[in-house]
Amino acid sequence: MKEWNWKTMVELPADQARQEPDASGVLGSCPCSCLRSMVHVVDAVSTEQAVLEAQAALGDVTGKVLLSVYRRVEGEDQLDLVATGHNPSDTLARIRVSVVAASMLAAVLTDGVVRWAMADEGDVSAVGVAALRDRGQTIGLVVAEFARDSTGVGKPSVVCLHCVAAVMSVVILRARVDEAQGSLLSLARYRSVAELSVQVTHDFNNMMQGVLGNAALAKMDAPEDSPVAVSMTAIEESATRASALARKLLNFARDSAKGGATCDAVKAASDALDLAGTL
């Protein structure tokens, strides 16, 4: 590239990218000096924090560098930003990246080989792209932008980028596991609430039957047009509607506990409001 530009890098043809920067063989470019820091990245509290720590560890070796981690969108030629070391003002254009056919990004996604692009002018002197892997499949990319005129104890190398990509792959996969465990825990809690709702609703329905029975007995002992009979009729109507609503809730709760159910939320809310209006 003549001058560094994010859009130009994204669209850069694969045949114009290199697999190794010219300075990679310089003594001191071995990533061992940052590897000890990298192993602690997996203990970061979040993916965003892991990116910042990996960025700092790599920067100790290569000089100032900005990392961006992308997740591959399944079934689409798109990459979604997971985390980045960029300032928020510089992040907007990087949130979703379209993968251009035959580009450097497309090539890394296809074969998993680290690639580089050098810029003659601009704030960035080189950009490296490495694949995030899971059981032999490429699940995303790490993009490293190396600042011009920034010095470290070594130089950017393919091994450095492989190290970062390997660590970030572990971070991403761990985040997926944590998310899945959270979903399972939420499901277990939901099932527990559903099972409790079955018992509560069943008991409520039984109480409504007692109200209906006693209202019917009291109505039999009162004159037909008396205030007591009118009140008992209102009680019977409200208790009948409450019992019907309880049966609906009971059926829904039982289906939910089994793993699936449908419910007309608007109708249920309307029934509940109508019932409350009669109390």
Out of 119-123, 148-152, 252-256, which region has the weakest mean confidence (pLDDT)?
Answer: 252-256
Q: What percent of the chain has pLDDT over 90?
A: 22
Confidence check: pLDDT of 272 > 90: no
Residue 108 has pLDDT above 80, yes or no: yes
**pLDDT per residue as tens digits for the range 155-173:** 667 777 888 888 899 888 8
Indicate if the pLDDT at residue 248 is higher than 80. no
221 φ, ψ to 5°? -90, -5
CA distance 169 to 172: 5
Residue 116 has pLDDT above 80, yes or no: yes
- Tell me the per-residue pLDDT of 44-101, one tens digit each, with 9 for 90 and over: 888 899 999 889 888 888 888 999 999 999 889 999 999 999 887 777 778 999 999 9
Predicted confidence at residue 69, as pLDDT, reads 94
CA atoms within a 13 Å half-sphere pointing along the CA-CB vector of 218: 17
Sketch out the chain's domains with CATH numbers: 6-180 (3.30.450.40), 185-277 (no CATH)
> What is the distance between the alpha carbons of residues 120 and 43, in angstroms, rounded to a whole number?
37
What does the alpha-carbon distance between residue 163 and residue 57 come to, in Å, rounded to a whole number?
A: 11
In order, the DSSP letters of 157-213 are -HHHHHHHHHHHHHHHHHHHHHHHHHHHHHHHHHHHHHHHHHHHHHHHHHHHHHHHH
pTM above 0.85, yes or no: no
Pairing of strands 137-147, 65-72: antiparallel
Rounded distance, CA 14 to CA 253, Å? 56
For tokens 């825990």, the residue is 185
pLDDT at 23: 41
